[in-house]
Amino acid sequence: MASVPFPDAGLPVGVVTRPLTSFETQAWRNGGGKTRPLAEESGASWRISLANVERDGPYSRFPGMTRQSLIVKGAGVTLQHEASRVELVPGRSIEYDGDMEWWATLRDGPVVALNTMVDQSQFRAEVILLRKPLLVPSRCFALVLPLNGSCAWRTRDLATATMLDADMVMTRGHGGPDILLIPLGDLTQDERYAAGNSTALVLIEDLAEPMPLDTGIPK
């Protein structure tokens, strides 16, 4: 279901919501699989995508790029290059070198991975699995992807508030408004969000103007 602004107004400048199904798939660079690009910098210095890994095989090389992967569906993937080994597991974002010739071995069938790649000389990426409210400052690019359940959000000034469902993607451009994200889902007995009710947040920070993540909740 599409997001509905509240109060009755358009979304703030720099904020875009789209159905996940509206993003077209394309072949990997090496042709070994399919990926769905969700956002990218015009100069190809960073990219965020959802990749389907359906069989064992080589990963595409991206010289000069730092990669992060978050398994959002499936049991996981083992990446191997000579003596180097990376374990991609559900629920945890892992950073690794995009220039290596990684061989991917599926653990127990196909997986879907939220992949982020940045030119390490220009940008820094942070991938967060949200299970509690978080305030995202304006001076970075942000992509929000509910994985199960939904995510409420509002601007700091309360001018806009809406709901983002699991079949939607929201992007907030660099310089857009501060936004408070509130992942919604059933609480466990110890009042933590259940593992299946979470939201993935990807932040892309320009190293030319770094700004730490502000996790404070506005009053």
Do 77 and 67 contact (CB within 8 A), yes or no?
no
DSSP helix/strand/coil, 21 = helix
When pLDDT is averaged across residues 64-85 and rounded to a whole number, the result is: 95
pTM of the model: 0.85
Rounded Cα distance, 146 and 128, in Å: 12
The domain ranges of the chain are 15-19+123-206, 23-119
Selected from 1.10.10.60, 3.30.300.160, 2.40.50.140, 2.60.120.10, the CATH number assigned to the domain covering 15-19+123-206 reads 2.60.120.10
Angle at 84 between CA 88 and CA 204, to 5 degrees: 50
Q: What average pLDDT is seen over the chain?
A: 85
pLDDT score of 211 more than 80: no
Two structure tokens written together for 209: 């103007």
- Residue written as tokens 């069938």? 109
Reported as a pLDDT band with limits 50, 70 and 90, residue 210 is low
CATH number of 23-119: 2.60.120.10
Reported as a pLDDT band with limits 50, 70 and 90, residue 188 is very low
Rounded Cα distance, 128 and 140, in Å: 14
Two structure tokens written together for 92: 């945890």
When pLDDT is averaged across residues 122-148 and rounded to a whole number, the result is: 92
Judge whether 15-19+123-206 and 23-119 match in fold: yes
Predicted pLDDT of residue 13: 87
pLDDT score of 3 more than 60: no
Rounded Cα distance, 101 and 185, in Å: 39
Reported as a pLDDT band with limits 50, 70 and 90, residue 36 is very high
CA neighbor of 160 nearest in space, from 145, 173, 177: 177
**Of 160 and 141, which is predicted with more confidence?**
141
